[in-house]
Chain A
Amino acid sequence: MSRGSLAVSHLTVAYDRQAALRDIDGCFEAGSMTAVVGPNGAGKSTLIKTLVGILKPVRGRVVRQDFAARDVAYLPQAAEIDRSFPITVTDLVVLGAWRHTGAFGRVGRDVMARTADALRAVGLDGFGQRAIGSLSAGQFQRVLFARLLLQDAPVIILDEPFTAIDTRTTADLLALVRRWHGEERTIIAVLHDFDQVRAHFPRALLLAREQVAWGPTAEALSPANLLRARAMAERWDETPDHRAAA
């Protein structure tokens, strides 16, 4: 899979004329696996939403190479989905096959088989008929990953996929992300756990409302760069959050 590189050129995104991100410039190469990190309020989700097309940049642009907007599988932050909605696990996962079923097409036997496979892959075999409201946060995140599996997209963008998720689930889902990396899909993930990033993500983008560093993880997350990011965060925040850049 050589398609799927995502270039951003001099990207600036603003809310109410207040720049949330300034002059981001670089490229998520096809098949690369990049962690987006930075202090709270650094613009990580803003960047993700701009890449996906939910937000429009005021300057600069995002260039997709050889793939359509629909070829991006996007996992929003957990809080953005209503977990009390009366829908079963299977129905949710089947949505991932939208490119095949469309809005009106039949859900065939192949889609149902792939759904069962995906549930097995995330360790939820036999959960198909459960209502999503009866799942734990970790199980629900597994369901969303099953939907990503069904989407079978060349580019996968994850916004805080492991926040408030138990360690066992995190390990299982991280293994899935690494499998996608092995399949040469392009992966972009917002993360908080620096050890996790260093252990599993070859590349990192360090943000603090602007681009502090972007490159191989060891270089991008050097102590000097982290210090710089924290100093920048303290400048925009009177009461700095000490965990933020740690």
Chain B
Amino acid sequence: MTLDALLVAPFVDYGFMRRALVACLSLGIGSGPIGVLLMLRRMSLVGDAMSHAILPGAAVGFLVAGLSLPAMGIGGMVAGLAVALLSGLVSRGTVLKEDASFASFYLTSLALGVLIVSLRGSNIDLLHVLFGTILAIDGPSLYLIASITSATVVTLAVVYRPLVAECFDPGFLRSVDGRGSLYHALFLVLVVANLVAAFQALGTLMAVGLMMLPAAVARLWATTLPGMIGFATLVAALSGFIGLVVSFHVSLASGPTIVLTASLFYLVSIVFGRGGLARRILSRPRFVG
């Protein structure tokens, strides 16, 4: 098999492969930087919780319009933001820390979402909602994903400084600029929007796959924040491409293959990365003589 047949032909021959590839590249560009910032805020698991939180909204969208990705996207957006807001309020008003209230809300959302989908849909529909339908992405869905990515990149470029400052030293930002929590809220909106975009492709259970895994990989190689963001974007895009190619030739489910490709990058980085195990073990001081 020629390299051309291996890497290029699937995308030349099939429209659904092209759309899936564009979706993956777009997701990487938006989710890469968001994932890095989430990780640096120690909110990796909050991203995971949020991705489940969008399910009931998406399910309501499904009830109303069937498997229409824009309808489910809008529903998911509303539900995700509501959960982010509620968790913030609960953690401020009760003894529960933010991670605990997020965990409670996402379990509730997941159960509620599955219940609502089962009301009308079949098990196949449920599978689509949970694990995504990257090969079924149509024109309108692609526009939605691309719009979210574009809005994310522009917003990040504008609020980069306060966002990073809020991430690094929230106490300091609060003392010099009264709008610290506003930037935090804006960031959460971006997180939810990108999860809604990823939800279309990877489903609610793996939507964070192209967000957190590339971020973790980038952390293990790059030393500067811009470097990490670039690296994460590259890893996400590569995972999408390799995952699609492999799943096409070996007839595997595309979504999981893409996420597993990112996992593979992660495993390799854990061992060989700049901040990884091999370097740590080799550079450990030893007694001589």
Which residues does A use to contact B, with CB under 8 Å?
Answer: 52-54, 69-70, 72-74, 76, 80-82, 85-88, 92, 95, 98-99, 101-104, 131, 133, 151
Contacts and interface: CB of A to CB of B under 8 A. Distances in A.
Given A98-B176, A103-B162, A104-B161, A87 B171 contact: no
A131 B176 contact: no
A39 B65 CA distance: 65
B169 A81 contact: yes
Contacts of B205: none
Contacts of B159: 103-104
A81 B170 CA distance: 9
B110 to A, nearest CB: 31
Interface in B151-167: 158-159, 161-162, 164-165, 167
A87 B229 CA distance: 13
Contacts of A104: 158-159, 161-162
Nearest to B182: A103
Contact of B177 (A73, A86, A92, A103): A103
Contacts of B177: 70, 98, 102-103
Nearest to A129: B224
11 contacts: A53-B175, A69-B175, A70-B175, A74-B172, A85-B40, A86-B40, A87-B164, A98-B165, A103-B183, A104-B159, A151-B176
B222 interface: yes
Contacts of A88: 224
A78 B224 CA distance: 22
Closest 4 CB pairs of A and B: A103-B162, A98-B176, A86-B225, A74-B175
Nearest to A87: B168
Contacts of A133: 223
A131 B223 contact: yes
A185 B175 CA distance: 18
Given A74-B171, A85-B168, 8 more contacts: A53-B175, A69-B175, A70-B176, A70-B177, A72-B175, A86-B223, A86-B227, A95-B169
B189 to A, nearest CB: 17
B280 interface: no
Interface of B is mostly: helix
Nearest to A107: B161
A52 B165 contact: no
B210 interface: no
Given A81-B169, A95-B172, A87 B161 contact: no
B228 interface: yes
Instruction: Tell me which of B158, B165, B173 has the highest count of chain A C-beta atoms within 10 A of its own C-beta.
Output: B165
A86 B224 contact: yes
Contacts of B173: 98
Contacts of B168: 81-82, 85, 87, 92
Nearest to A133: B223
A72 B225 CA distance: 29
Contacts of A73: 175
B222 A86 contact: yes
Contacts of B97: none
A74 B40 CA distance: 23
B92 interface: no
A126 B222 CA distance: 22
Interface string B128-169: 000000000000000000000000000000110110110111
A52 B171 CA distance: 10
Contacts of A95: 165, 169, 172, 176
Contact of B171 (A69, A72, A80, A102): A80
Interface string B25-54: 000000000000000100000000000000
Contacts of A72: 175
B154 to A, nearest CB: 13
A103 B174 contact: no
Contacts of A102: 177
Interface in B210-244: 222-225, 227-228
B179 interface: yes
Nearest to A85: B168
A70 B171 CA distance: 12
Contacts of B167: 85
Contact of A86 (B158, B171, B228): B228
Nearest to B171: A76
A54 B174 contact: yes
Contacts of B171: 54, 74, 76, 80
B242 to A, nearest CB: 27
A13 to B, nearest CB: 17
Contacts of A86: 40, 222-225, 227-228
A104 B165 CA distance: 12
